Amino acid sequence: MRQKKNIRAMQALRSVILGMSSLGASITPVLAGNSPFDGIWVIDASVEGGLCPSRGKKLFIALEDARIVKLLGLPSPTYSGHVEQDGRAEITLKVYGATANIGGKIAGLAGGGSWASDSILCPGGVWKAYKAEGEGVAAPAK
């Protein structure tokens, strides 16, 4: 059941990206970049502590040349981030006036780490990621 939801979400993300390309935006670098980390990643983030109205969130991130070029799943976020050659991921995300600092590591098709924010309601948590592959979605890391 979860994999079907993930496949539907990936299809929706691809539709958005393909729609962008029909408007003149190039998607080729996102789908075939120079870094082994380039492509679309599915992020499952969860909150630990606080009184956050949402205990978990699924995000989709597109990487080009190991830098974030698109993030879907949050309302009007601003973000910056990259993945080092050794797989260390560092991201700064701002949404609803709060800033979150995200760190962790990815290797191959999966990864994870932790995040902390200056929000009293949603102070921090952990995340797991897996890279989208082919027509379906790669299985999450165990």
Lowest-pLDDT range, 30-39, 58-67, 98-107, 110-119? 30-39
Are the C-beta atoms of residues 82 and 66 closer than 8 Å to each other? yes
DSSP string over 50-85: TT-S-SEEEEEEEEETTEEEEEESSSS-EEEEEE-T
Query: Residue 124: what pLDDT?
Result: 97
Helices (H), the chain: 2-22, 28-31
Entry pTM:
0.72
The stretch 46-75 carries a mean pLDDT of 94
CATH architecture of 28-131: Beta Barrel (2.40)
Write down the domain spans for the chain: 28-131
Whether 113 has a pLDDT exceeding 50, the answer reads yes
The stretch 55-60 carries a mean pLDDT of 94
Residues 6 or more apart whose CB falls under 8 angstroms from that of 45 comprise: 56, 57, 58, 59, 115, 125, 126, 127
Are the C-beta atoms of residues 125 and 55 closer than 8 Å to each other? no
The stretch 106-119 carries a mean pLDDT of 97
Share of the chain above pLDDT 90, in %: 65
Q: Give 15's strand partners.
A: none
Provide the pLDDT confidence category of residue 34 given band limits of 50, 70 and 90: confident
Whether 90 has a pLDDT exceeding 80, the answer reads yes
Give the residue with greater pLDDT, 14 vs 73.
73
